[in-house]
Amino acid sequence: MKRLLSITSITWFMTLAAVGSITACSDDGQDAVCEPACAAYGPELPGVGECVAGSCTPTFLECFDKTEFSTCQVQCEAVGSTCAENACADGTYMIYSNVEECKVVELAGPVISRRCDEAIEWQVNTGARCCCEQVP
């Protein structure tokens, strides 16, 4: 089954590759167990998006503005994935004061635990990343 990637998705993966976040997976010394390579979130949140037993764990996907999506279920579906409820560092989304801050991969925002279909609690914030399944 072929999957179309949006320009935003391609940009996100290229950004991760540029900062070294996409690495080949291995499991117990076996090279390239996960194909394609997983999109690990980074050292700030170990276990998020990593290769475990030959499968990629869910990861926080691309940043979005509060005017784009109201729930993580809708955001993950928009990029061809499924929301992973409370599966990324025990949360469903990370919240940021704005999208520009969200795009700085080294900055991990507060992780919020909610249902995938529950409205994101923006308060004064305008940027977020949702926890979604990684699909090859």
pLDDT digits (tens, 9 = 90+) for 8-57: 333 333 333 333 333 344 445 544 467 778 988 878 888 999 998 888 99
Residue 2 confidence (pLDDT):
30
Residue 33 confidence (pLDDT):
61
Q: 95 with 112: CB under 8 angstroms?
A: yes
What pLDDT digit, counting tens, does each position of 79-130 carry? 999 999 999 999 999 999 999 999 987 888 999 999 999 999 999 999 999 9
Radius of gyration of the chain (CA): 14
| Whole-number Å distance between alpha carbons of 93 and 37 | 22
Residue 44 in domain: yes
Residue 2 in domain: no
Residue 108 in domain: yes
Residue 29 confidence (pLDDT):
52
Q: 25 with 43: CB under 8 angstroms?
A: no
Residue 1 in domain: no
Residue 76 confidence (pLDDT):
97
Residue 58 confidence (pLDDT):
96
Instruction: Work out how many domains the chain is built from and give that number.
Output: 1
Residue 125 confidence (pLDDT):
96
Residue 63 in domain: yes
**Residue range(s) defining the domain that contains residue 11:** 7-132
64 pLDDT more than 80: yes
Per the model's pLDDT, the better-predicted residue between 63 and 22 turns out to be: 63
Stated pTM of the model: 0.75
